[in-house]
């Protein structure tokens, strides 16, 4: 944990009392004592520092010094064909750590219907895993997660009002254009909306749907990756290419 | 499985009889029948195609048409501080899929000693997981895995004869130079030797040791990643940047 995350209601005063896992983390992993400092962030709020005021067996009391501005949302949003529940659970933290503004989990031809009934889509599970990645990467911005049962409705109706200006990239092994080249050509400050398919890729019908809605196809070269590896690789490559 | 992998001794004749998991895969996942074709590769040998000659309840017989050249080894070799056993087991397949020539698993100040006694270093475990990644990425080249109990001996004595000419990159959050920039500047055909630290990073002493032996420090930007995410992200970024 590189950033101690606080809920907005905890951070409204100048002090906070931690219990449970976060108190144990400060005491036993960070091994902080009275007078020590640590980095803190408010979920979807500002970051700052805290000073340890008191360390007890059940609780840790901190004085907060928070900034006023909240950090910008990561520049990349992701449309991701819903992965297998076990894979999805493991992906939330790395995606949040790499940086994603919005995560649209969507149906696709090669997505199994039962994935939608999984525990991996329970809001508490999603939030816990995302917070883990945010704490790792020191980013207090909580990715917004949406679940879409119709890819067509997502692409035809939902995306345009939310992403009027983002550069739209569609990742699939059929495309020769490299993802890094396409992302490097995106102007400064412009957001990127990246769509990544299921195990086995998007179908021709799906690729056509995306292309008719402004998505430009990109690939990752000749090596076909498992969808979870591809998600991490692609997000890393696009962020790296967006850096000035 | 995008490439059916055969052992060299199986592929010495013009035909092969598969049993067990590979036979089931051909029958039940690929759902191939007599006359159908599939891609095959010989471990550390050539790739080619096979035609299904016979499909039985216990066995599948294939006729092989193999090329003569074996594909080149991936251009990146990796020095990786030994991760936790559970993390390491999950990393072999993605690393092999992304492409790594040699994998040097090494001790470091922040590596726990008991990691070296783990089942995750058993040759059969390593090989099975690597083959999974190779089959995924259609690469028959088996990464060579070495375990080093002394980082100092590895860097001072072992690397020079093996890597007389490779570009050496040391990844750590302390460095500002972007990994993609450093990799993009590597001349065509030249190999890259990439060193990635443990959870918590290399120590100053270790960074100094690497730097004295020709390693150039690179980072992945301000977001600190968990070491398994960093390994996948970094390998993906370096491969992408090496592409012409």
Contact (Cβ atoms closer than 8 angstroms) between residue A73 and residue A86: no
> Cβ contacts (< 8 Å) between A222 and chain B: which residues?
138
Is pLDDT above 90 for A174? yes
Across the interface, do B138 and A223 touch by the CB < 8 Å criterion? Answer: yes
Contact (Cβ atoms closer than 8 angstroms) between residue A108 and residue A81: yes
pLDDT given for residue A45 in this prediction: 95
**B5/A157 Cα distance (integer angstroms):** 44
pLDDT given for residue A12 in this prediction: 87
Is residue A125 less than 8 Å (CB to CB) from chain B?
no
Is residue B136 less than 8 Å (CB to CB) from chain A?
yes
The conformation of residue B178, written as its DSSP 8-state character, comes to: B
- Rounded to two decimals, the ipTM of the complex is 0.94
In the predicted model, what is the mean pLDDT of chain A? 95
> Cβ contacts (< 8 Å) between B137 and chain A: which residues?
223-225
Q: Which CA distances in Å does B90 have to A178, B24, B181, B209, B224?
A: 27, 24, 28, 29, 20
Q: Of B65, B1, B66, B64, give the one whose Cα is nearest residue B31.
A: B1
Minimal Cα–Cα distance from B25 to chain A, Å? 16
The conformation of residue A113, written as its DSSP 8-state character, comes to: G
Contact (Cβ atoms closer than 8 angstroms) between residue A192 and residue A242: yes
Cβ atoms within 10 Å, residue A98 = 30
**B57/B52 Cα distance (integer angstroms):** 14
Q: Of B206, B234, B204, give the one whose Cα is nearest residue B220.
A: B234
**B170/A62 Cα distance (integer angstroms):** 37
Q: How confident is the model at residue A8 (pLDDT cuts 50, 70, 90)?
A: very high
Query: Across the A/B interface, how many CB contacts are shorter than 8 Å?
Result: 91
Q: What is the arithmetic mean of pLDDT over A82-110?
A: 97
pLDDT along chain B (244 residues), means of 10: 93 92 93 96 96 94 93 96 96 98 97 96 97 96 98 97 96 94 93 95 97 96 92 97 86
The conformation of residue A157, written as its DSSP 8-state character, comes to: I
Please state the pTM of the whole predicted model.
0.95
pLDDT given for residue A69 in this prediction: 87
Is pLDDT above 90 for A130? yes
> Cβ contacts (< 8 Å) between B223 and chain A: which residues?
97-99, 137-139
Contact (Cβ atoms closer than 8 angstroms) between residue A108 and residue A151: yes
| Higher-pLDDT residue of B1, A207 | A207
**A90/A130 Cα distance (integer angstroms):** 10
> What is the per-residue pLDDT across A140-165, written as a single tens digit (0 to 9) for each?
999 999 999 999 999 999 999 999 99
Q: Which residues are CB-neighbours of A124 under 8 A, at least 6 positions away?
A: none
Bridge partners, A38 (sequence order): A50
Across the interface, do A225 and B137 touch by the CB < 8 Å criterion? Answer: yes
Is residue A105 less than 8 Å (CB to CB) from chain B?
no
Is residue A94 less than 8 Å (CB to CB) from chain B?
yes
Is residue A24 less than 8 Å (CB to CB) from chain B?
no
Q: What is the arithmetic mean of pLDDT over A219-227?
A: 90
pLDDT given for residue B13 in this prediction: 86
Mutate to test the interface with A, among B30, B31, B229 (most CBs of A within 10 A): B229
Structural domains for chain B: 4-66 (2.40.240.20), 76-242 (3.40.1280.10)
Across the interface, do B225 and A2 touch by the CB < 8 Å criterion? Answer: no
**A187/A180 Cα distance (integer angstroms):** 13
pLDDT given for residue A199 in this prediction: 87
Across the interface, do B138 and A232 touch by the CB < 8 Å criterion? Answer: no
Q: Report chain B's terminal Cα–Cα distance, integer Å.
A: 28
């Amino acid at each position: 944990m590189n950033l101690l995350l606080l809920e907005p209601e905890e951070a409204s005063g100048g002090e906070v009392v931690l219990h449970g896992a976060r108190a144990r983390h400060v005491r036993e992993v960070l091994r902080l004592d009275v007078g020590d400092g640590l980095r803190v962030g408010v979920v979807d709020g500002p970051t700052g520092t805290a000073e340890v005021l008191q360390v007890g067996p059940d609780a840790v009391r901190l004085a907060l010094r928070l900034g006023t501005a909240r950090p910008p949302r990561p520049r990349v949003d992701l449309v991701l064909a819903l992965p297998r529940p076990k894979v999805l659970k493991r992906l939330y933290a790395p995606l949040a750590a790499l940086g994603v503004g919005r995560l649209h989990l969507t149906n696709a031809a090669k997505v199994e219907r039962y994935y939608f009934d999984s525990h991996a889509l329970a809001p508490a599970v999603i939030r816990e895993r995302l917070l883990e990645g945010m704490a790792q990467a020191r980013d207090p911005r909580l990715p917004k997660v949406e679940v879409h049962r119709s890819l067509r409705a997502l692409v035809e109706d939902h995306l345009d009002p939310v992403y009027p200006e983002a550069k739209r990239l569609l990742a699939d092994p059929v495309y020769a254009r490299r993802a890094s080249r396409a992302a490097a050509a995106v102007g400064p400050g412009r957001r990127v909306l990246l769509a990544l398919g299921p195990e086995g890729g998007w179908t021709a019908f799906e690729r056509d749907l995306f292309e008719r809605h402004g998505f430009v196809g990109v690939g990752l070269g000749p090596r076909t990756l498992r969808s979870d590896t591809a998600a991490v690789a692609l997000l890393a490559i696009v962020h790296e290419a967006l850096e000035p």
